[in-house]
Structure 1
Amino acid sequence: MYKKTILFALVAICSLLTIDGMAQNKDQAAVGQSVDQLKQLMIDPDKSKLEALASDELSYGHSSGKLEDKKAFVDALVSGSSDFKTIDLTEQTITIVDNTAFVRHKLMAETANDGKPGTAKLAVLLVWVKQKGNWKLLARQAVKI
């Protein structure tokens, strides 16, 4: 009887760990899709889609130290003052803690900010928060590499 109780407890614990792991993998995939959507919208901006993807509390930090709120972030992309022609993301990791996701990656890009050709080589930290079932960009900080 004692062995059956221990076996049942072990099976129950393993089942819970598996379910939690599956939920985290599902969230990681959803965050990865949100990162991909952000990348595409940075190349081909759409105001309403950018506004839907970003949290109202967005804090967007550039590698220059410049900080933008949601409105300034969206306006910069839509106006072309921040203009990405290509973006390549590598070495991406996604960590989920409760309703928050931390994404780190390297970003290599061709830019044309205010019409001036350039390149960007950055290490980026993105913070995503799950709000009403959707992953929203809450914060971003980049540093030059």
Structure 2
Amino acid sequence: MHDQAGARPDGSGLEASLRAAEARRMQALLDGDLDAFAGLCDDRLVYTHSVGRRDGKDSLLDALRSGTVKYHRIEHELERVVLAGGAAWISGAMRAGITSRGQLRELDTLTTSVWVRPEAGWKLLAFHTTARAA
């Protein structure tokens, strides 16, 4: 039995749809497709960078549009997906090459994503990345 989104009773269809949403999000960042990226983000987004800076959806999109932040390479391994009602929590590890405020940086971080599932499909509500311990 499947629900309208193709989810199976064991939740594996929902997990697959979340993994696909994460992949679309990363690809949109790499491609600079900010319309696609914005469409995947909840308006209440809280995006916490590894340097401790926090952005909302609008300020993050402004930073991406202006080139203040640009992603050149992203390797994001999703390690655990936890479904909780109409939301999901995902932990992972990310290595990325970015330009941040004119400086090239290599990131090696642990990540946490929180997604909510309104009528329109999965939306990123929060993303938090923390530098790995050396």
Q: Give me the TM-score of the superposition, normalised by structure 1.
A: 0.80
The residue aligned with 1:121 is: 108
The 8 Å contact of residues 83 and 114 in structure 1, kept in 2 or not, is answered as: no
The 8 Å contact of residues 78 and 90 in structure 2, kept in 1 or not, is answered as: no
Change (3 A) 1:76 1:110: same
Structure 1 counterpart of 2:9, which letter?
D
Consecutive unaligned residues of structure 2, counting only runs of 5 or more, are 1-7
When structure 1 is superposed on structure 2, of 46-55 and 27-36 the one drifting more is 46-55
More helix by share: 1
The residue aligned with 2:86 is: 99
How far apart, CA to CA, are the structure 2 residues paired with 1:141 and 1:135?
17
1:70 aligns with 2:57: yes
1:47 aligns with 2:34: yes
Question: In structure 2, which of residues 22, 25, 29 is the aligned counterpart of residue 38 of structure 1?
Answer: 25
The residue aligned with 1:25 is: 12
Identity of aligned residues (%): 23
Structure of larger gyration radius? 1
Structure 2 counterpart of 1:57, which letter?
R
How far apart, CA to CA, are the structure 1 residues paired with 2:118 and 2:23?
18
The residue aligned with 1:134 is: 121
RMSD in angstroms over aligned alpha carbons?
A: 1.4
The 8 Å contact of residues 46 and 78 in structure 1, kept in 2 or not, is answered as: no
Structure 2 counterpart of 1:60, which letter?
Y
Change (3 A) 1:91 1:134: closer
Q: Give me the TM-score of the superposition, normalised by structure 2.
A: 0.86
Consecutive unaligned residues of structure 1, counting only runs of 5 or more, are 1-18
